[in-house]
Amino acid sequence: MILIFALFLLTLLVITAIAIVRTDDLFVAVMLTSIFSLLMAANFFILDAADVALTEAAVGAGVTTVIFLCALELTGDREKAREGGRWVALGTVSVLALLIIYATFDKPRLGDPDAPVHQHLAPWYLEKTPEYIDIPNVVTAILGSFRGYDTLGEVFVVFAACIGVLFILGVSPPRKNQPVIKKSSGLRHHLIPQVVGRLLIPFIVLFGLYVQFHGEYGPGGGFQAGAIIATGVILYAVLEGESEALRAIPRGVLLGMVIGGALLYGGVGVACMLMGGAFLDYSVLAADPVFGQQLGILIIEAGVGMAVCGALLAIFHAFAARERLS
Amino acid sequence: MDLLAHLPALQVVVPMLSAPLIVLLQPRGLAWAGATAAALVSFAIALTLALAVLDGQTLEYAMGGWPAPYGIALSVDAFSALLLLVITGAGATALLAARSSIDQQVESERQPLFYSAWLLVLSGLVGIVVSADAFNIFVFMEISSLASYILIAGGPDRRALPAVFKYLMMGTIGATFYLIGVGLIYMMTGTLNLADIQDRLGDVTDINPVLVAAGFITIGLALKAAVFPLHVWVPNAYTHAPHMVTVFLAACATKVALYVLIRFDYMVFQATLEDHEIQFALFAMPLAILGILIASAVAMFEGHLKRLLASSSIAQIGYILLGASFVSMAGLSASAMHLFNHALAKGGLFLAVACLAYKYRDLRLNQLGGAAARMPWTCAAFVVCGLSLIGVPGTAGFISKWLLITAALESGPWGWGLVAIILVSSLMAVVYVWRIVEALYFQAPVDGEGPTSEAPVQMLLVTGFIALLNIYFGLFPQVPLELANSAAALLLEGSQ
């Protein structure tokens, strides 16, 4: 049953991808990429990667689509006509696809317990997590602690993306008393989206908080939570107008969340170092090393959530405010 | 807290955590001061690390306190220490000189973001170099790439934006290729730690995925390293970037990708795949030779100063790859040495360019006539670094070219041909450096144009200092040479 469903999803995925390449209407392309992300999220779910699926749905299908649409408003929704070059690209992509397919002939069967992936590190993680960290969700243990340094790196990727957009779009850094121009935008006069959207927002934010604090037990964590909460706020901005959203959470707060989140995560690492452990060795944070690990993961996840939520919103506002500034 | 033991982590963490703080430093000049201080601390850490591994030992660091294949390990050996010196040295030097140039090119309210991105590039690059974990390398590659797009887009030149877009596309493709390769390897071995991959690849019987992985990783990194013919993003990105950004990135950015390429190939693939050293040589040598000859030829006919030097960089990448393709002690040590010396020469040249650009709006050669009379110190520094780029005895560039020629002679019956190629390309370098010198010293100034004074003292002092270093390391190359030799020994040992 699941196989048929997976095949169906993958076929749709390919069709969508081809449609994205073929269309020269950028608005259609954006909508299709949103569908692509949603299909992708479903695929991740089938592969039991619920946390990745959540993020993909929130970021890929939600936030990115809105940001793309903001960008389209600045440029135009028609692709510039171009001649030639497509065949070269098509040829290259085909050859690469064949190569990867060739490589997968010798791959271990999906879910094969004898596959090297399940023989080496995974058993150790499964066996040692209860002993060292004592939380039910091993994925959180790996991402937050065993490979927490990678996660710190990813937070700084988000940070870099955020300052990059702010820098290039030239939105001046927040100043105090910057007046927010009140302008009637958004969907205030459309009753149905208004009512439905307003009903949805509290649930989205609540779900985001649940994902944030439930990461130790089920799929979840800071990245997903930050993205989901940001989606809720962006929905509010779409309904009520960007300036209303900015009034609710001003730009300075957003930037503060990004900086604070990144520093909170890094600061935990430094604190571990000062307390005699290695960088990000949470065991030294409390007298009981297991509790120290849990405490460390809790704090860094909070940092991740703050940074991701702030960055997504800051990027959204940078695009959305562009029109007014120019 | 034992500081020395923590240095590999601090090397990355200091610039990384300074970056968000810099954003908060709003008043003018403060962001620059903060970033420079952080970069200087990084350089001091790199120097300490280099001295610690000079005798060939390797410093290991277990992130989060988790042992190696389960957690992420950092490792610093002679090869990484050499790169760390280059990266932090270039980052700190360019920042020290940067203030007036950046004030001219980046609006003051955007500067905190700019310097923050600068530190992110720095921490991303050193993060790649100290990491002993294939996926961790990817994460830091993302940080350094994203942040370097910001830096290149930073100047007033709008042409930088399409250049950045191209760089972004190429960089993303390169990183994706690398990630696909790492994914395939993880699929076959179940591990991400480089040493552990090497251990476990030996047991893999279905070798095809590993071969494809080797291909993807090599091409992805070659793209990032601007190996000919995957270099198309370089000239525009270097040309339209703010001048000080060019100094920083030209000195170290592509070299880091080359470092990962060499390390991955020697430490992982050559040890486990049969005849891989021959495949690597057959892949790398022709590309290196073509890159050296074609890029030098392009540079000979290029009319824009920055674009000319960018072309020359592609040729220099060729030299480094050529040395590595010999798969010998002498070749690798020449490669490692050239990584260091080229950074000195090209960094110095671009510093001098930044000084010129402070006064001249247009950097085409025919606009720079008579600059030597107006900016004598800048031009003198330029000439010294130019000589080093050519490889004139007494300069740093000579040492690595000499080592490369020695290695080529040892490499077999084709040795003489390779020596001929190195000599011809050095003559080509004489031509293109001479064209610049001719413009600076012997052409008549363009009417009504041109400055009346030198660049600001701070820029000039740093530029002059780097020019002197080019001579110093030409006469006393012991320290980098020792690092390069231990690096070569380590790599060859790893490939057994």
pLDDT tens figures, B315-331: 999 999 999 998 899 99
Same domain assignment for residues A221 and A301: yes
- pLDDT at residue A290 tops 70: yes
Q: Is residue A103 domain-resident?
A: no
Same domain assignment for residues A19 and A131: no
Q: Are A116 and B185 in contact (CB under 8 A)?
A: no
Query: Average of pLDDT values for A165-174?
Result: 70
Q: Which of the two residues, B176 and A245, has the higher pLDDT score?
A: B176
Query: Average of pLDDT values for B309-316?
Result: 93
The band of B21, judged by pLDDT with boundaries at 50, 70 and 90, is very high
Q: Which of the two residues, A318 and B202, has the higher pLDDT score?
A: A318
Which residues have C-beta within 8 Å of that of residue B311, sequence separation ≥ 6?
A: B235, B295, B296, B298, B299, B302
Instruction: Lowest mean pLDDT of B29-33, B175-179, B304-308, name the range.
Output: B29-33
Q: How far is A46 from chain B (nearest CA, A)?
A: 19
Query: Average of pLDDT values for B105-111?
Result: 87
Query: Average of pLDDT values for A287-292?
Result: 89
The band of B361, judged by pLDDT with boundaries at 50, 70 and 90, is confident
Tokens describing residue A187: 């969907």
A31 touches chain B (CB under 8 A): no
Contact A146 B66 (CB under 8 A): yes
Q: How far is B178 from chain A (nearest CA, A)?
A: 13
The band of B450, judged by pLDDT with boundaries at 50, 70 and 90, is low
Tens-place pLDDT, residues B74-88: 999 999 999 999 999
Which residues have C-beta within 8 Å of that of residue A142, sequence separation ≥ 6?
A: A125
Query: Average of pLDDT values for A44-63?
Result: 86
- State the Cα–Cα distance between residues B124 and B68, nearest whole angstrom: 21
Tens-place pLDDT, residues B38-47: 999 999 999 9
Same domain assignment for residues A57 and A120: no
Q: Is residue A87 domain-resident?
A: no
Query: Average of pLDDT values for B256-269?
Result: 92
Q: How many domains does chain A have?
A: 2
pLDDT of the residue at A98 = 92
pLDDT of the residue at A175 = 42
A75 touches chain B (CB under 8 A): no
Query: Average of pLDDT values for A110-131?
Result: 83
Same domain assignment for residues A51 and A165: no
Contacts B143 to A, Cβ<8 Å: 153, 156-157, 160
CB pairs under 8 A between A and B: 170
Same domain assignment for residues A58 and A139: no
Query: Average of pLDDT values for A7-19?
Result: 93
Same domain assignment for residues A138 and A232: yes
Same domain assignment for residues A233 and A311: yes
Same domain assignment for residues A24 and A128: no
- Residue A81, phi then psi, degrees to nearest 5: -65, 135
- pLDDT at residue A177 tops 50: no
Mean pLDDT of chain A: 85
Q: How far is A50 from chain B (nearest CA, A)?
A: 20
Contact A116 B135 (CB under 8 A): no
pLDDT of the residue at B272 = 83
The band of B29, judged by pLDDT with boundaries at 50, 70 and 90, is confident
Query: Average of pLDDT values for A202-208?
Result: 91
The band of B448, judged by pLDDT with boundaries at 50, 70 and 90, is low
DSSP reduced 3-state for A288: coil
Same domain assignment for residues A231 and A302: yes
Q: What percentage of chain A reaches a pLDDT higher than 70?
A: 91
pLDDT of the residue at B158 = 84
Query: Average of pLDDT values for A21-36?
Result: 91
Q: Is residue A244 domain-resident?
A: yes
Query: Average of pLDDT values for A104-124?
Result: 81
- pLDDT at residue B467 tops 90: yes
Q: Is residue A107 domain-resident?
A: no
- Mutate one of B14, B17, B106, B232 to test the A interface: name it (highest A CB count within 10 A): B17
A77 touches chain B (CB under 8 A): no
Last residue of a domain, one of A49, A78, A107: A78
- pLDDT at residue B17 tops 90: yes
Last residue of a domain, one of A28, A49, A78: A78
Contact B23 A280 (CB under 8 A): no
pLDDT of the residue at A186 = 62
Instruction: Lowest mean pLDDT of A261-275, B192-206, B460-474, name the range.
Output: B192-206
Beta bridge partners of residue B59, listed in sequence order: B76
The band of A149, judged by pLDDT with boundaries at 50, 70 and 90, is very high
Query: Average of pLDDT values for A89-109?
Result: 87
pLDDT of the residue at B36 = 94
Q: Is residue A88 domain-resident?
A: no
Tens-place pLDDT, residues B131-159: 999 999 999 999 999 999 999 998 888 88
A122 touches chain B (CB under 8 A): yes
Query: Average of pLDDT values for B288-294?
Result: 94
- pLDDT at residue B381 tops 70: yes
Mean pLDDT of chain B: 91
- pLDDT at residue B378 tops 50: yes
Q: Which among A115, A259, A269 has the least Cβ separation from residue B23? A: A259
Q: How far is CA A78 from CA A16, A72, A73, A81, B210, in A?
A: 19, 9, 11, 9, 42
pLDDT of the residue at A22 = 86
- State the Cα–Cα distance between residues B247 and A51, nearest whole angstrom: 42
- State the Cα–Cα distance between residues B41 and B11, nearest whole angstrom: 9
Is A41 exposed, middle or buried (CB count within 10 Å of its CB: 0-12, 13-18, 19+)? buried
ipTM rounded to 2 decimals? 0.94
The band of B428, judged by pLDDT with boundaries at 50, 70 and 90, is very high
Q: How far is A202 from chain B (nearest CA, A)?
A: 31
Residue A62 domain boundaries: 1-78
The band of B363, judged by pLDDT with boundaries at 50, 70 and 90, is confident
The band of B368, judged by pLDDT with boundaries at 50, 70 and 90, is confident
Q: Are B209 and B52 in contact (CB under 8 A)?
A: no
Q: Is residue A179 domain-resident?
A: no
Q: What percentage of chain A reaches a pLDDT higher than 90?
A: 33
Q: Which of the two residues, B54 and A152, has the higher pLDDT score?
A: A152
Q: Which helix (H) or strand (E) holds A195?
A: helix A191-214
- State the Cα–Cα distance between residues A77 and A276, nearest whole angstrom: 57
Query: Average of pLDDT values for B175-182?
Result: 95
pTM of the predicted structure, to 2 decimals? 0.93
Same domain assignment for residues A151 and A202: yes
Query: Average of pLDDT values for A152-166?
Result: 94
Q: Which among A108, A128, A281 has the least Cβ separation from residue B64? A: A281
Pick from B182, B48, B75: which is nearest to B494 by CA?
Answer: B75
Contact B208 A99 (CB under 8 A): no
DSSP reduced 3-state for B74: strand
Q: How far is CA B414 from CA A189, B56, B398, B411, B445, in A?
A: 78, 32, 22, 7, 47
The band of A176, judged by pLDDT with boundaries at 50, 70 and 90, is very low
Q: Is residue A158 domain-resident?
A: yes
Same domain assignment for residues A68 and A147: no
Same domain assignment for residues A23 and A131: no
